[in-house]
Amino acid sequence: MTGGRALALHLGVAAVLGVLQFVLPPFHHGMVTRILFFSTYAMAYNLLFGYAGLLSLGHAMFFAAGMYGAGLPVYYLGMGSGSAFLLGLGSGLLLAAAVGAASLRASGSAFPVVTMMFGQVSYLLTLHFNWITFADQGLVLVDRLLPLHLGPWSVPLTDPAVRYVLAWGLFTVVLWVSLWIVRSPFGRILVALREHEERARMMGYDPFRYRWVAVCLSGGVAGAAGAAYALSFGYVGNAFASILYSIYPLLWVLLGGAGTTLGPLVGVLLMTYAVDVVSGFTSAYLVVVGLALVLVTLGFPQGILGRVRARWWRWLP
């Protein structure tokens, strides 16, 4: 294993993204902040889809669980942001543990449909309890959010500069965690199960148990991304629970390269700017999402970094 080049590449990417905040003009500063949060979410999805090979169509429920898990206590109970973040992460994890335990009993082509249904249920629940969630109108946390106290400093989370640092910090941590998972025995067993379930089972690995842990990890990280997004933008809305936010991570990961650690970042970067450009021309801008899904499936199933790995950089994790 020549890990040196891969490690240097990941360090370099994290460093460049960290420096970018000082040079970007305000609009792109905001865009990259969102890109970093969504990349974290996409890395969570990639863990399940790219490495474990499980196609989920309901991942928005974990992102939204993080959002509401963090946002509701802040809004209604005035909870501090640190505990709210942990609560959001925990909500994603807990939901994933339950949904994973159920959905994994349905294998193959049933898994996407089952997760899609659970995702729909979660979205519909935000509508059903709209006297708590205010549905698509959402909850504005800005006035209720206490600044985070770090020793002698008090940090206002919704300040754009702080928001960027938060997004970058979470992104870097998750990037490192996923790099570590991918290289760990656990990650390799997931790939083995993806590639040849019967053979891996014969070697004594229980598919259900490993996949369930993968769903939990993925849901927990997605929840963390949702919680951090809600706290730093000071807003919780049910658009993030809708099916579109289950489709987005699928597209991001497919486009950037499923099963590559940096693919999610590449996919989010391209799609976020593409959607931004096209939405300037038409209200039907989501047609880009549909077209991209079809075209990637037809002509580019490895995604960008998958192709790069196949052609040039064989060492890319």
Partner 1 sequence: MTGQLVLALLEGTTSGLLVALTSVGLALAFGILRIVNVAHGAFFMLGAVLAWGITTATGSFLLALSLAPVSVMLIAAVMDRLVLRPVRYASGPTIVATLGLLYVLEQLTLALYGPEARAVAAPLAGTVELPWFGYSIYKLAVGAVSAFLLLGTWVVVTRTSLGLRMRATQQDPEIAQAFGVPVYRIYSLTFATSAGLAAVAGVLVVPLQQAHYLMGLDALLVSFMAVVLGGLGRIGGTVAASFLIGWTDGIVSIFFTPTLARIVASLIVAFVLVARGGGLVEGS
Provide the binding-site residues for partner 1, judged by CB under 8 A.
55, 57, 102-103, 105-110, 112-114, 117-118, 120-121, 124-125, 127-128, 243, 247, 250, 254, 282-287, 289-298, 301
Whichever of 83 and 297 has its CB closer to partner 1, that residue is: 297
Q: How far apart are CA 116 and CA 6, in angstroms?
A: 35
Whichever of 94 and 125 has its CB closer to partner 1, that residue is: 125
Cα–chain center distance at 239: 15
Least distance to partner 1, CB of residue 101, Å: 9
Whichever of 15 and 294 has its CB closer to partner 1, that residue is: 294
Q: How far apart are CA 36 and CA 165, in angstroms?
A: 10
> In terms of DSSP bridges, do strands 235-236 and 139-140 run parallel, antiparallel, or are they unpaired?
antiparallel
**C-beta of residue 303 within 8 angstroms of C-beta of residue 258:** yes
Least distance to partner 1, CB of residue 53, Å: 8
**C-beta of residue 264 within 8 angstroms of C-beta of residue 256:** yes
CA angle centred on 84, ends 78 and 90, rounded to 5°: 145
Cα–chain center distance at 210: 20
Whichever of 19 and 291 has its CB closer to partner 1, that residue is: 291
Q: Is 278 exposed, middle or buried (0-12, 13-18, 19+ CB in 10 A)?
A: middle
Least distance to partner 1, CB of residue 128, Å: 5
Least distance to partner 1, CB of residue 285, Å: 8
Least distance to partner 1, CB of residue 37, Å: 23
Q: How far apart are CA 290 and CA 42, in angstroms?
A: 18
Token pair 């890319």 in the structure block, residue:
316
**C-beta of residue 65 within 8 angstroms of C-beta of residue 91:** yes
Q: How far apart are CA 9 and CA 6, in angstroms?
A: 5
Whichever of 33 and 246 has its CB closer to partner 1, that residue is: 246
Whichever of 127 and 277 has its CB closer to partner 1, that residue is: 127
Least distance to partner 1, CB of residue 106, Å: 5
